Amino acid sequence: MKRYTILLLAVVAMTGCDFMQKEKVKSHKQWHQARARIICSVGEEHLRGGSLDKAQSCAMESLSMNGDYLPARILLAKVLLGKGRYDQADEHLQKAEALSESLKTGVSAKAPMGAEIAYLRGEAAERTSRYPEALACYQKARALDPSNDAYLMASAEVLVAMGKPKGALELLEIRLQRIGTENEPSVLILAGEVAMLTGNYAKAVDFFQQCLDMKQSDNPQKSQRSIRKSLAKANFFAGNYRQAIESLKLISDSTTSLSPDKPASTSCWVYIMIGDSYMALNRPREAKVAYESAIKIEPSEPKIWLSLTKACVACGDGRRGIVAGLRAMELTDNHTGSQGAADRMEISIATACAMLKEKRPADALRVLATSAREHPNDPMLWCLLGRCYSAQGRSDRAAACYMAALRSDPKHKLAKTLMASTLGSKLRTLNP
């Protein structure tokens, strides 16, 4: 009996030791897991602060303590993406994806994390121009977490990169129709930008206006200025010039109020677009004022001087038009190639028109001489040359120029009109 008692005590002691050992291992494992979570959290803070190296060290230390800790694997992938090591990031994301799929938790519990992994894999693919693969990853992320607009927007941006902006716009419109009054500003802005790419300017106006109409708390002043810029451009390209001018003036006024001592802080394009809008509305005097403001900001940009020349010609200020045109020509003297020649021709035509306004046909001919050599088949150029000769009373030379214009373009209306006028004048001279 005594022997059995001793054996029983020995068995109990051994079992107790084994239990204690298991508890010790379990406790040690739990400590490592807790430590891994803490270190990973520190790494995430480093990542938010932009300290990639520190974040990477934390992620690797966390994984050394618990190789199956999914957030640490995702953190490491994010760091590698930030460092531009996309292939390495994707390797870790593939491991994270496999680990996520193996988790014995409910779908609702693992879906957001699985969606993030799919999204990050899409980001790695997109940054290496593997757009179809990126799109598939973003679509998977959207399927796992339909409420996250970041995945929707990423899908739309990849479609644009793939040359499918219409598909991107359809995707965004479906989303906007579904969420209705809860539209997110970021989705509306992207929809507006994509609509601009597809040439649907009226839609772009609608999207940007919806975004602008949201509560002030949703759109701080800086954000509103950015949206207003997009709205102004959309209105301009949609042909809504008055609305474009209203938005552009608000942009100019708000920028000046922020920097009253620096009026040039307003972007040059704002004044250029105001000028272009006034020209489209046949209000050249107001356009002239806008272009003058743009020149104060960018005095070395020949295209602004050209626009000013045209506005001056349109409002009858030939003297100022000549000065602006000659300055534009001076700034393009060193431009080479076909584009440089095209710019010079446009500038020379505008400058010659200003000279004709001031009754200086000989100067206009000199200005047009170079362009005439560079563009011997341009009918508009020949018409203007003819007008210069006509202003000098050299009707035969003028008629020859109009004939050259018609040889280049037999249907050119201005050349026909000028030729008829010249022939009629000659007939009246011969038969008084």
> Are the C-beta atoms of residues 297 and 266 closer than 8 Å to each other?
yes
Q: What is the CATH number of domain 376-432?
A: 1.25.40.10
The residue ranges of every structural domain in the chain are 267-366, 376-432
The token pair at 149 is 């607009």
Q: What is the pLDDT of residues 180-208, one digit of tens each?
A: 656 678 899 999 999 999 999 999 999 99
Going by the DSSP 8-state scheme, the letter that residue 217 receives in this structure is G
As a whole number of angstroms, the distance between CA 108 and CA 94 comes to 21
As a whole number of angstroms, the distance between CA 377 and CA 341 comes to 14
End-to-end CA distance of the chain: 155
As a whole number of angstroms, the distance between CA 223 and CA 66 comes to 43
Band of residue 102 on the pLDDT scale cut at 50, 70, 90: confident
Closest CA to 255 of 281, 232, 286: 232
The token pair at 350 is 């505008």
As a whole number of angstroms, the distance between CA 313 and CA 333 comes to 22
Distances in Å between the Cα of 239 and the Cα atoms of 194, 273, 285 are 18, 12, 20
- Identical fold, 267-366 and 376-432: yes
Contacts of 213 (CB under 8 A, 6+ apart): none
> Is pLDDT at 121 greater than 60 in this prediction?
yes
Closest CA to 72 of 101, 32, 108: 32
- Report, as an integer, the average pLDDT of 6-19: 53
As a whole number of angstroms, the distance between CA 96 and CA 118 comes to 10
**Amino acid, res. 316:** G
In CATH, which superfamily holds the domain spanning 267-366?
A: Tetratricopeptide repeat domain (1.25.40.10)
The model's pTM:
0.76
The per-residue pLDDT for 25 is 46
Stated as kind and residue range, the H or E segment containing 133 is helix 131-144
As a whole number of angstroms, the distance between CA 143 and CA 157 comes to 17
The token pair at 273 is 């677009």
Q: What is the pLDDT of residues 286-345, one digit of tens each?
A: 999 999 999 999 999 999 999 999 999 999 999 999 999 999 999 987 766 666 677 888
> Are the C-beta atoms of residues 72 and 33 closer than 8 Å to each other?
no
As a whole number of angstroms, the distance between CA 318 and CA 284 comes to 13
